[in-house]
Structure 1
């Protein structure tokens, strides 16, 4: 004997349930205060600038090694 299959909720019911779940979850979120937000922003900006400097140095070093050094060695 086959077991009965539970009916699937309709699309509007799914959307409504999703909305209620999101609303309930957003009430549980702890948002950072202004000082935490400023601290995190400064750290991110410093990190991005440092990473950009590292990439620029690597670019210059690789440009010298792969472009200028062979030209100097081969006399071009």
Structure 2
């Protein structure tokens, strides 16, 4: 039974795309911003406002730089 649960968990994890994970993290961060007072909320939302494509480009540049070093 334990093995079945582990295998099922792995299948579910593999099924999650990078974009889905990113979107979920963004949603959680956005929810945290809305817990802040209005005076801080706008800055918080601005700091996390990055599209997945922007994030992916930046990540690829960092990975490429690390591989080249």
TM-score with structure 1 length normalisation? 0.34
Higher relative contact order (CA 8 A, sep 6+): 2
TM-score with structure 2 length normalisation? 0.37
Which structure dedicates a bigger proportion of its chain to helix? 2
Higher Rg = 1
